[in-house]
Structures are given as C-alpha cells and as structure tokens.
Structure 1
Amino acid sequence: MNQCTAVVLLPPPDHVIALSIPGHRPEPGHLLCELGEDHEGHENHQDHEDTDHAAMLWEEGGRHGGAVWARWNTERTELVPLPWCTALDSRGEACGLFARHPSGHSWEVTDPTDEAIMRVLAEQHPHLFPERREGGGAG
C-alpha cells in the first residue's frame, strides 16, 4: 500500500523558541504521515486516534522501546510518547511504527516518491538494478 500523503506544519515548541538566539527563531517544519494511505478508513473505531495521521519525531533516549510521535487531524496536533510496534517481518526486522497503529506495518507501506525515483534510476542505470530487469524480479 502507498504511504498516506497528509502533511502538517508543526511550529517549534515554546521552550525551543525561548531558548533560541535572538534574531534566529526556529522555523516551523512540515511532517508527512508515515502510515499507510488506508488508515483513515478506520472511521468506525471508537478511538479517534485510529484515524489520526502520525510521524515519528525522535526516539526516546531515556525510555527503552518508544519514540515521540506527532499525531494530528483536522482539529489538533499533539506530541505523544508511544511504544514501538512489536511485529517482525519474515527476515526478523521490526516494524518502524508505534504499537497498535492502524493500517499495515512499515514494511507494507511504500513511499510513492521513492518508488518513482527508483524507477527512473533503474531505467537510466539498469546495471545498478539487476533485480528490476525483465525476468529478474520486480520490474
């Protein structure tokens, strides 16, 4: 499934602004939702967080097994610490999303921009992408 394309503009927290050098105010940053594009289809859940968009901001250094995520919808944006999803793929790689996330696991979510770039590079430099040649796998 493709990655959700929702974007939010996140202003810097007040404490960061307060600590900034005068004349060098931190700029707001854009966040792109990391969930699969179908996560908003979970409207029938009682917990509205299931339909929130989400982007990881940083891992929590002092608390094992979690990260701080920005969660947003049309009404609000908030920063929340969430534990990691414990699911593993067939190679034993961990999901890169938070526990109980809606939609697919991170290995099932494809960034369409990355895929478009890889397709163009594979066409221009086929020797670098043997797995994309005809008969050689995805292509």
Structure 2
Amino acid sequence: MDQCTAVTLFSAPRHLAIIPEFAEPSYLLCELGEHGNGDHARCLSDDGVKGGAVWFRWTDDGWTKIVALPWCTGVDSRGDACTLFADHSPEHSWDVTDPTREAMMRQYAKEHPHLFPEGDPD
C-alpha cells in the first residue's frame, strides 16, 4: 500500500520549539498508508516517552492535536516491530511504501549498480 500523501504545515508550540528540528515551521507528511478517513499522523519524537512516542495528529478539516501514543504491538515475520502507534489504520508500517523513496532507490540502483549488488534497491 502506498503512503498517504497528506501534508500539513506544523508550527511547534513554544515548549516544543526548543527542539532544533521544530524551531521553524515545517511541512509534515502523514506516515500512514493511504486511507479514506482524513485522519493523519506523523511521529514527532520518541525521546523520553516510555512505551510510545509523541505524535502530531490532524484531519483534512483543520483539527490538530499533539498527543503521546503507545507503540503498535504488531511484529512482522522477520521480527521487526511496527513503527506506528497502537490502533492505527489501516496497515502496519512494513506494508506502507513511500512511492517517492521507491522511485529514488530505483534511480540510484540504475545509476550506481555497485551499491546494489543483489539488484534489489530495498
């Protein structure tokens, strides 16, 4: 499943603006797989949050919230944990493909095949 393409402008509240990456307003991309409900999410930080992370949640109609959420407990067949929050929808992180990243990796593999000896850029 392709990654959701929703993007929003995030201006950190004063207490988060002390973190260098949030000092200036920036655009955030939704980390979830494509979904139809308009409820989007991006992880802001997992530092200091026991068993979870701080997420920025937003909807297409302008609702926003910063919230600490526990990690999803899903684990894939290789033993890798899902990097999304509990009760996310619809797919686990390993089922979500960033189409831009995939296109870049294909181009890198084409231009620099020595970096991809197995032939698969993933």
Match of 2:32 among 19, 32, 35: 35
Normalised TM-score (structure 2): 0.85
Determine if the alignment matches structure 1 residue 69 to structure 2 residue 49: no
2:57 is matched by which residue type in structure 1?
Answer: R
TM-score, normalised to structure 1's length? 0.75
Report the structure number with the largest CA radius of gyration. 1
Partner of 1:4: 4
Does residue 94 of structure 1 match 2:81? yes
| Structure 1 residue ranges (4+ consecutive) displaced by more than 3 angstroms after TM superposition | 14-17
Two-structure CA RMSD over aligned residues (Å): 2.1
Aligned residues: 117
Aligned residue type for 1:98: F
Identity level (%): 58
Structural mapping, 1:1-139, within 5 Å: 1-15=1-15, 26-37=23-34, 39-40=35-36, 43=37, 51-61=38-48, 63-73=49-59, 74-132=61-119
Q: Which has the higher helix share?
A: 1
Q: Provide structure 1 residue ranges, at least 5 long, that are not aligned to the other structure.
A: 20-25, 44-50
In structure 2, the gaps of 5 or more residues are: none
